[in-house]
Each structure stands twice: as structure tokens, then as C-alpha cells.
């Protein structure tokens, strides 16, 4: 286990080359893939809508990515960090007004109909742009899709759209749906959203609510000799302790997305035949951040925000809350986004004296009880680590004389309190970095336009300079110029602290050693598993 821990740390440290890294984990050198068998994995949730073209979320992808494929998938060694899937080549025009995709030949849908550029055009215009949670933003300026022949799709944009952004968005936002099943229907309510039909290596076979999803081998998959597995069975295990026991009892062979709690990893990693793997999530970086309500008088003061940043011991958080399976954050863009990451942003070292001095300077002297003021602290309930950090933050702030009152809510209540009612002063959030800052990161600080949108700036923060950088980057076509804008953006955020980034983490996969080709791409858990195999 420690082997992988070290490899992950060095990997994250060598931020410059991470996505392009060729280090492949656990490739069974000299071993031939065994055909057949059933892989049983743990699933902790049953998404309401399983259609990845509409709901681009990891919970949906975990199951649906084996059935419905995107145009391209993330890759450790591919050009620009991508490997071809339904598209074999892609190119953006110099003016940013069009992007041409060459599609794969000889692909058929699971129902036998051929896959063509019409399917891509339909998915882009009727699904990704109007219906998809991420695509609504990425494809906002998509005007039309030309299909000169069945294997070419040309996207036309009304405003310059950086191809850099499209490229990073390909794995998550371009799941292609079969036009012949969706055209002319109510797409959001189509029965195929529950019984998926795609082009992927596995066909959707059965769903028994509360028990399992069963996928089975697509005999006519385009990938030569793929898939290796006969079946993938997702076993619904809602209890946090269940996945670890099920792995030990060999009732499941793999648990992804940290279904086995961090505290159990040390023990389970020592069990014969079980491996703890921290690779394979580089394309799905989660960030631990302190969200700030800038409507609160004290927090509108930059000195107070700086004091809070100085009061947090990031190393302690990484070592004790994440048990080492994370990295201290340096800013709003994580270190494993080498194309955008700027290492020179201002840092706020852990320094209680400085934090106290800053608060004194800001004019908030300690009262008779040692407190300067009281804040409402709402930790997001989505992960053990976010609630634990909430408890830590309360202590850290107490050391500088800020009395943080914790209110723990469940998901729905937290969502309403923070993102709709704004009934918080500071909140703990786990936003996701999805390859390009424009996809789901700039929304955390850009002046908000609407209430009720989760994982967005609901703290009332508004900074015209930062807004301008964000808006310019959305229409800057040149990669270098665009990256430069994002470097300025990172500097500005680090200086003004609209939110405080504390740590960055990927998830942990725990698997039986009988499972091979695990974690061999940066979005492995949500990729197609066509090359995965198990010992016969």
C-alpha cells in the first residue's frame, strides 16, 4: 500500500508533467488478459437519471460510462491528455468559431443501428447545450452542427470559443446518445434514460432498484478484442462499512470513489489479496475550500479573510483529516492541472500570531471572553472529510478569537441554507476541478446571477476585475493567451481571497489483486473499463 501512497505523492508533486505522465499503475506485464468473468463492484448511490448526456456527474458516469461513450476520454499518455473514443481526430479553427470532429468508422449502437455524425449533431444541439448541467455552459455559444458526411461533425459557434476548453470538456460533456431513440421525444423523460442504449463496450442489461445494476459484454464493440469482461455487476451497498467487509469476504472485487473510508485503508491494505490504489482520479480533482459570505460585515474585510487563511494549518488537515491522501492547496487551480496551474500565487502560511495581528488591525479586538466575533459555520455533509474539517476549523478559529458555531445539516438542507438562503457566514465546500477552470471553477467566484445554484458563488462576492478575466478567458482562442489570463485570475483570487482553498484530493480505489488494468487513466472509475480483466 505504501508503494502507491508514495507514487501518488511524487506524482502530485511533479505537477508539471502529470497528465502527460506515462507511469502506468499495475499493468500486468507479461500477463495476457483473461477473457470473461463477472466483475462485482460496490455502488453507493442509485442516480435518478442515468443518462450521462443529461447529468454529467461522477455518480452517473460510474455506471453509464461503460455503456455510453464520449467523443474522447482522458489519458495519461495521449496528446493533450486525451485518448480517442467516438471521435478519432479533432481540431479547432483559428478564429474559434468552429471545431471539426472526425468520427470513428464502423461503430454501431447496441440495438444494431449505425452510429453517424447525425447522432453527434443531435446530442450536441438537443441535449448537451440545452439540458446538460455542464454542457449548458461549455456549449452555450454552439449555434449549429454541420454533418457533411456520416463521419464528420463540424461544430459552429456564434462567439469565439476556445478549443482548449472544448478539449478539456470532451470526456465529461460529450456522451453521445442515439438520435433514433430520442428524436421527437421528451428527452428528459425518455425510457432510454433508465435503460441506456449506447456504443460502449458493455450493454445495459438489468437494474433492480436497491440491489444491483448488471451490464454485459457488447459482442460487436469497435475496440478490437474488447471488452475482456463478460459482465459488470454494480452491487448497491449504502452502508459505509459494507464495502470494506464485502471486499474482505470476496463478495465484491472493487470499490471506487473512496467507498472504503480512509480510516479503514491502513488495515485493509494489509489484507492478503487486497490493494489500495490512489491513482486514477487525476482528472477528477476535488478541492476542500472555505466558502465565505461577503455580506457578513467582518468577512467583507480582506484582513479578516487573510487572518482566517493564516489560521488554518493545511499540513495538519492533510495529515490528520485526509490521513495523507491529499495535498495542501496553493490556490483556486489545483496542482495537477499543469497547463493552468500557477505556482507563484501569494501564500498564507500557518501563523496564529499573524492572524491575531491582522484581526487586531482590522479593529476586532478580543472581548472579555476572549472572542472577537461569532460566525455561523456550515460544513457540507457530502464527505466525512468536509464535516471533520468543519470541526477542525472551529478549533483553528477559536485560537484567533473567532467563535465559529457549527450547524450540521443534511444535503438538501445544506444546499438551501448556503446556496439559496445565504444563511451562513463561512461554509466548507468540496468543489470539483474538471480540467479547465471555465467548466466548474470560475463559477465559484464570478459575480452571481441567480440564487439556488449549488457549487457556485453564493457568498455575494463581486469583483469586476476578476469577472473581466473570467469573461475574457471564455472568448480567448489562443491557448497561451488564455492560460495567461487564468494565471492572472489565480493571482487575483489569491490576493483577494473570495474563498480559501485548503486541500486537494482524489479518491481511493480498493480492489482485489485479481482485478487487472485498474486505474490506468486519469478518470478511470468513470471511464469504459474495456481493457479491465479478472483472473479466471
**Would you tell me which residues interact with another protein (CB under 8 A)?**
40, 45-49, 55-60, 133-134, 136-137, 194, 206, 208-212, 214, 231, 233, 235-239, 241-242, 245-246, 248-249, 251, 382, 409-417, 420-421, 432, 440, 449-456
Closer to another protein at the Cβ: 287 or 456?
A: 456
Shortest Å, Cβ 249 to another protein: 5
- Chain centroid to Cα 238, Å, comes to 21
DSSP result, 208-263 = ETTTEEEEEE-TT-SSTT----SEEEEEE--STTHHHHHHHTTS-SEE-TT-S-HH
DSSP state, residue 179: H
Taking Cα atoms as reference points, which of 197, 170, 156, 3 lies closest to residue 73? 170
Q: Measured from the CB of residue 53, what is the shortest distance to another protein in angstroms? A: 13
Residue closer to another protein (CB basis): 215 or 276: 215
Q: Which is nearer to another protein, 364 or 529 (CB)?
A: 529
C-beta separation of 270 from 506 below 8 A: no
Specify whether the CB–CB gap between 340 and 436 falls below 8 A. yes
Distance CA 86, CA 198 (A): 11
Find where cell 447529468 sits. 55
Question: What phi and psi, each to the nearest 5 degrees, are found at residue 302?
Answer: -55, -35
State residue 338 phi and psi, 5-degree precision.
Answer: -55, -30
In the complex, minimum distance from the CB of residue 483 to another protein, in angstroms, rounded to a whole number: 25
Cβ 234 to another protein shortest distance, Å: 9
Shortest distance in whole angstroms from residue 129 CB to another protein = 12
Residue 214 beta carbon to another protein: minimum distance, rounded to whole angstroms: 5
- Residue 369 phi/psi, 5-degree rounding, is -85, 5
Nearest residue to 155 (alpha-carbon basis) of 97, 115, 82, 87: 97
Beta carbon of residue 463, minimum distance to another protein (angstroms, whole number): 21
CB of 103 to another protein, least distance (A): 27
Q: Sheet holding 87-92: strands in order across?
A: 87-92, 98-103, 152-157, 142-149
CB 52 within 8 Å of CB 64: yes
Given the complex with another protein, which of 231 and 351 has the nearer CB atom? 231
Q: In the bound complex, what is the minimum distance in angstroms from residue 43's beta carbon to another protein?
A: 10
| Closest distance of CB 302 from another protein, Å | 28
Q: How far apart are CA 137 and CA 158, in angstroms?
A: 14
Q: Which CB sits closer to another protein, 36 or 148?
A: 36
Minimum separation from the CB atom of position 203 to another protein (A): 14
C-alpha 137: how far from its chain's center?
A: 16
234 forms beta bridges with 41, 213
Up-side HSE of residue 478: CA atoms within 13 Å toward CB?
4
Of 80 and 245, the one with the shorter C-beta distance to another protein is 245
- Contact between residue 319 and residue 281 where contact means Cβ atoms under 8 Å apart: no
Residues in the chain: 536
Nearer Cβ to another protein (21/123):
123
What dihedral angle (degrees, nearest 10) is formed by the CA atoms of 246, 252, 258, 261? 10
C-alpha–C-alpha distance, residues 395 and 386, integer Å: 15
Q: Which of residues 400 and 439 has its CB atom nearest to another protein in the complex?
A: 439
CA–CA separation, 515 vs 496, rounded Å? 47
Amino acid at each position: 500500500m505504501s508503494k502507491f501512497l508514495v507514487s501518488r505523492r511524487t506524482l502530485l508533486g511533479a505537477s508539471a508533467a502529470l497528465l502527460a505522465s506515462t507511469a502506468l499503475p499495475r499493468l500486468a506485464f507479461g500477463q495476457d488478459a483473461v477473457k470473461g468473468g463477472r466483475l462485482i463492484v460496490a455502488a453507493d448511490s442509485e442516480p435518478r437519471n442515468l443518462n450521462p448526456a443529461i447529468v454529467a456527474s461522477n455518480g452517473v458516469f460510474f455506471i453509464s460510462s461503460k455503456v455510453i461513450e464520449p467523443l474522447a476520454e482522458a489519458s495519461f499518455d495521449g496528446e493533450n491528455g486525451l485518448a480517442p473514443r467516438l471521435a478519432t481526430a479533432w481540431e479547432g479553427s483559428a478564429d474559434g468559431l468552429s471545431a471539426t470532429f472526425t468520427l470513428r468508422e464502423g461503430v454501431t449502437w447496441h440495438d444494431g443501428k449505425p452510429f453517424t455524425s447525425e447522432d453527434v449533431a443531435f446530442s450536441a444541439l438537443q441535449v448537451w447545450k440545452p439540458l446538460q448541467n455542464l454542457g449548458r455552459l461549455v456549449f452555450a455559444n454552439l449555434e449549429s452542427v454541420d454533418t457533411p458526411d456520416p463521419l464528420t461533425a463540424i461544430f459552429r459557434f456564434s462567439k469565439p470559443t476556445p478549443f482548449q476548453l472544448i478539449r478539456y470538456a470532451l470526456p465529461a460533456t460529450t456522451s453521445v446518445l442515439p438520435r433514433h431513440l430520442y428524436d421527437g421525444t421528451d428527452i428528459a423523460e425518455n425510457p432510454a434514460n433508465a435503460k441506456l442504449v449506447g456504443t460502449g463496450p458493455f450493454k445495459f442489461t438489468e437494474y433492480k432498484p436497491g440491489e444491483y445494476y448488471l451490464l454485459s459484454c457488447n459482442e460487436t464493440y469497435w475496440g478490437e478484442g474488447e471488452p475482456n469482461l463478460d459482465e459488470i455487476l454494480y452491487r448497491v451497498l449504502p452502508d459505509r462499512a459494507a464495502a470494506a467487509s464485502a471486499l474482505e469476504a470476496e463478495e465484491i472485487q472493487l470499490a471506487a470513489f473512496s467507498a472504503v473510508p480512509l480510516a479503514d485503508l491502513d488495515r485493509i491494505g494489509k489484507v492478503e489479496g487486497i490493494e489500495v490504489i490512489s491513482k486514477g482520479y487525476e482528472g477528477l480533482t476535488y478541492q476542500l475550500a472555505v466558502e465565505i459570505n461577503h455580506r457578513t460585515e467582518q468577512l467583507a474585510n480582506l484582513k479578516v479573510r487573510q487572518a482566517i487563511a493564516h489560521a488554518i494549518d493545511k499540513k495538519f488537515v492533510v495529515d490528520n483529516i485526509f490521513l495523507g491522501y491529499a495535498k495542501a492547496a496553493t490556490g483556486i487551480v489545483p496542482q495537477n492541472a499543469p497547463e493552468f496551474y500557477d505556482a507563484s500565487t501569494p501564500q498564507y502560511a500557518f501563523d496564529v500570531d499573524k492572524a491575531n495581528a491582522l484581526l487586531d488591525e482590522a479593529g476586532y479586538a478580543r472581548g472579555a471572553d476572549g472572542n472577537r466575533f461569532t460566525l455561523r459555520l456550515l460544513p457540507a455533509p457530502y464527505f466525512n472529510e468536509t464535516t471533520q474539517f468543519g470541526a477542525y476549523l472551529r478549533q483553528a478559529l477559536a485560537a484567533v478569537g473567532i467563535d465559529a458555531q457549527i450547524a450540521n445539516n443534511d444535503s438538501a438542507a445544506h444546499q438551501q441554507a448556503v446556496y439559496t438562503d445565504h444563511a451562513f457566514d463561512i461554509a466548507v465546500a468540496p468543489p470539483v476541478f474538471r480540467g479547465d477552470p471555465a467548466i466548474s471553477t470560475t463559477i465559484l467566484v464570478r459575480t452571481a446571477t441567480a440564487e439556488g445554484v449549488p457549487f457556485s458563488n453564493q457568498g455575494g462576492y463581486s469583483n469586476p476585475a476578476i469577472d473581466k478575466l473570467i469573461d475574457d478567458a471564455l472568448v480567448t482562442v489562443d491557448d497561451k493567451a488564455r492560460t495567461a489570463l487564468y494565471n492572472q485570475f489565480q493571482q487575483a483570487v489569491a490576493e483577494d481571497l473570495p474563498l480559501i482553498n485548503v486541500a486537494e484530493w482524489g479518491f481511493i480505489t480498493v480492489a482485489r489483486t485479481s482485478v487487472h488494468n485498474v486505474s490506468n487513466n486519469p478518470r478511470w472509475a468513470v471511464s469504459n473499463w474495456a481493457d479491465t480483466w479478472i483472473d479466471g
